[in-house]
A and B are shown apart, each in its own frame.
Chain A
C-alpha cells in the first residue's frame, strides 16, 4: 500500500506540482477561510451593539444659557461641553495665528455659530474630562479648559495649546434644529 501511494503521489524530480500539493493547498486554504469565518463573529460581538448605537444622538435646549456660561450634557456616555462664548473669547480665539497651533484649525471651522462652541469634553491625551466648564474651575493658561490629569491647556476654541494632548478637543456632529434646540450626533 505504501508503495502504491508513493508511486502515484511522489513529487516529480523536476519539482512540478503534484496532485498532493494541490490537495494540501486547497484544504489548507479552505481551513484558513473557515477559521477566519469562525473568529470574525467572535471579534464582532465585542463591537458596540445595536442598542448602544441607537442612543447615539441627543437633543439639548440651549435657551437658558447666558453669555459666558457653559453647560455639560451627556452624549454617548461622554460629556459634551456647550459654551456660549463672550465676544472677547471669540476675538481671542480668532486672533491666534494658525502657526501657533500644534493641531492647526481655525476657530471658524470649529463652530457653526460663533457664539456657540460645542465640544466633546474628553481630553485627547488619555480621555480625562478637562476642567473649565464650571464656575471657579481653572481654565488653563489660554482661558479655555485645563486637563488635571497630565496638564493639557486648551484655548477658547478648545484647541490644544500646551501639554501632552495631540489634538484639539473634538467637535461632535451637531445641528441647530431651531434657535434654542440643538441635536448632537
Chain B
C-alpha cells in the first residue's frame, strides 16, 4: 500500500518503522465505500467532529473552571465575562452538546431506516448504543458543573433515580454523592468523571470504527458490496461529501452560538444553586425529554426508572427483534411507514416530556410510551414474518447504472423492474 507521499524518503523511513502513512491511506483514502451513499451517511463523521469540538473547547474551559460549590458558579461567570473568548468557548461547548445529540440522533434514525444494525453489524451497533449511553452520562455530568439551580436540581433528581433500586439504592446514592445530598464532593467527582468520559468515548468510537471498517459501511440499498465496482475510494469522494455536511452543520451551530446561545438553556440556571429551594418547574435538556416522558408515564418509582433505561437498552437486542432479512426500508413498504410513525412517537414523547405531568399529557405520554416499546417488541418481530418486501437489486453498481439510465428519479428502488431478489426476500 503506497501513497503519493511515499516518494519522500522521510515518509518511507517512518512508514517502515511505524506504518501510519499506510494505515491512513488504507482507512482514510483508499477505503472502499459503497458508491451510493447519500447525505444521511454524513452524520457519522459529523458526530466524530462534534466529539473533537467538545474535547477541544472542554480542555480550554477546564483551565478556567473551579469545581467547588463556592466557586463553580462564579468561575463559570468569570469564563463568560473575563476570560478572553471565554463566552465563545462556553457557548460552543454548551450548544455543541446539543449539536452532538442532533447529529447522533439523526445517525441512529438513519441506521434504523436502512437496517444498519443487522448482521454482520450487530457489534458495530452495540458500540453505537454504548456511545449514546456515555454521551448521556457526559452531558448530564457537564450540565451540573455550572452549579446553577437547574444544575443542582437535575443532579438531585437524576441521582435519586438510583435510589429506586431495592435494598442497596440508598447506600449507592450516598456513595455516588459522597455525602447525604448533592454537595461539594458530588460536584468534585462529577467534574473528574466529566473529564474521564470523553476518553472512554474515544475508545468506544475507535471500536465502532474498527467494526465499521472491518465489515464496511451499509448503504441505502442495504445490499452487500459484491465487487470493487460497487465501491469508490473514501477520499476524495466521501471526504468532500462530508465537507458539505460539515459546512451546513457548522453554519447551524454558529447560528445558535452567536445569535441564540441560551436557546436550549434554562434562565434559572443563571441563579446559583440553592439546596433548600426547588425551582417550580424542573425539566431536563431537550435530548433527554423522550426518556423523561417514559419515566413519568409509569406511576411507580422503580418501574419508571426501569422503563426509562429499557427504552435505550432495548436497542441492544434490536438486531434480533427485527426478523426481516431485508435491511433497507426502501424495500420494506410497511416498515417504512412504521418507521415514520415511530419517529413521530419519539417526537411526541419529547413534547410530553417538556410539559408538566397534568391533564391529557399524562395519558398521551402513557400511550406513546407503550407504543415505543410495542414498536420494538411487537411490530418489528411480526413485520419480518408478514411483510412482503420488494425485490432487491442485483448489485449496488447495477442499481446506480439503472438509475443513471433515467428510468426512475423518484428514489424508488431501481431494481424493481428486474425482479431479482438476491438478498433472500421471503
A residues neighboring B (CB under 8 Å): 43, 46-49, 52, 56, 72, 74, 76-79, 122, 125-129, 147-151, 164-166
Instruction: Find chain A residues with CB under 8 A from B411 CB.
Output: none
Give residues 236-293 of B contacting A (CB, 8 Å): 275-278, 280-282
Complex CA–CA separation, A126 to B278 (angstroms): 12
Let me know if B276 and A48 touch, CB within 8 A: no
A46-B189, A164-B304, A166-B301 known; A150-B296 Cβ under 8 A? yes
CA of A77 to CA of B155 in the docked complex: distance in angstroms?
14
Give chain B's interface residue range (CB within 8 Å of chain A): 20 to 34
Please determine whether A127 and B156 come into contact, CB atoms closer than 8 angstroms: yes
Q: What separation, in Å, do the CA atoms of A122 and B153 have in the docked complex?
A: 12
Q: Is the CB of A78 within 8 A of B185?
A: no
Q: Which of B59-67, B139-147, B174-182 sits within the interface?
A: B174-182
When distances are taken between beta carbons in the complex, the residues of chain A under 8 Å from B276 are 72, 74, 79, 129
A46, B281: Cα distance in complex, Å = 31
Q: Say yes or no for B387: interface residue by CB 8 A criterion.
A: no
Q: For the complex, give the distance between the alpha carbons of A122 and B189 in Å.
A: 23
In the bound complex, CA of A151 to CA of B356 (Å) = 9
B300, CB-defined interface residue at 8 Å: yes
User: A4 CA to B183 CA in the complex, in Å?
Assistant: 64
Q: Encode contact with A along B137-176: 1 for CB under 8 Å, 0 otherwise.
A: 0000000000000000100110111010000000000111
Instruction: Please determine whether A164 and B157 come into contact, CB atoms closer than 8 angstroms.
Output: no
Contact of B301 among A76, A147, A164 (CB under 8 A): A164
- Point out the residue from B159, B163, B179, B278 that lies within 8 Å of A129, measured CB to CB: B278
Query: By DSSP majority rule, is chain A's interface helix, strand, loop, or mixed?
Result: loop
Q: Which A residues lie within 8 Å of B275 (CB)?
A: 74, 77-79
Asked if A150 and B185 make an inter-chain contact with CB atoms under 8 angstroms apart, the answer reads no
Is B405 in the interface zone, CB < 8 Å from A?
no
Query: Given B163, B185, B277, B300, which contacts A52 in the complex, CB threshold below 8 Å?
Result: B185
Interface centre among B174, B276, B302 (most CB of A within 10 A): B276
Q: Which 5 A-B pairs have the closest CB atoms?
A: A76-B180, A77-B181, A127-B160, A128-B278, A126-B157
Which residues of B are at the interface with A, using a C-beta cutoff of 8 A?
153, 156-157, 159-161, 163, 174-183, 185, 189, 275-278, 280-282, 296, 299-302, 304, 357-358
Determine which of A48, A77, A149, A151 lies in contact with B358 in the assembled complex, contact meaning CB atoms within 8 Å: A151
Nearest chain A CB to B353 CB, angstrom units: 12
Known: A47-B175, A78-B275. A128 touches B153 (CB 8 A): yes
Quote the shortest CB–CB distance from B174 to chain A (angstroms): 6
Report yes or no: A47 in contact with B296, Cβ–Cβ below 8 A: no
Bound complex: CA of A127 vs CA of B156, how far in Å? Answer: 6
Q: How far is the CA of A49 from the CA of B358 in the complex (A)?
A: 41
* CA A127 to CA B296, docked complex, whole Å: 15
- Kindly list chain A residues whose C-beta atoms are within 8 Å of the C-beta of B302: 166
A92 to B74, CA, bound (A): 47
Q: With A72-B276, A128-B153, A128-B282 as given contacts, are A46 and B175 in contact (CB-CB < 8 Å)?
A: yes
Quick check: B180 and A56 within 8 Å, CB to CB? yes
The reply to whether B178 and A49 contact each other, CB–CB distance below 8 Å, is: yes
CA separation between A47 and B156, bound complex, in Å?
17
A148 CA / B153 CA spacing, docked (Å): 12
A151 to B281, CA, bound (A): 11
In the assembled complex, the CB of B160 is this many whole angstroms from the nearest CB of chain A, namely 4
Q: For the complex, give the distance between the alpha carbons of A76 and B180 in Å.
A: 6
B180 near A48 (CB under 8 angstroms)?
yes
Question: A88 to chain B: closest CB distance in Å?
Answer: 27
Residue of A nearest to B282 (CB): A149
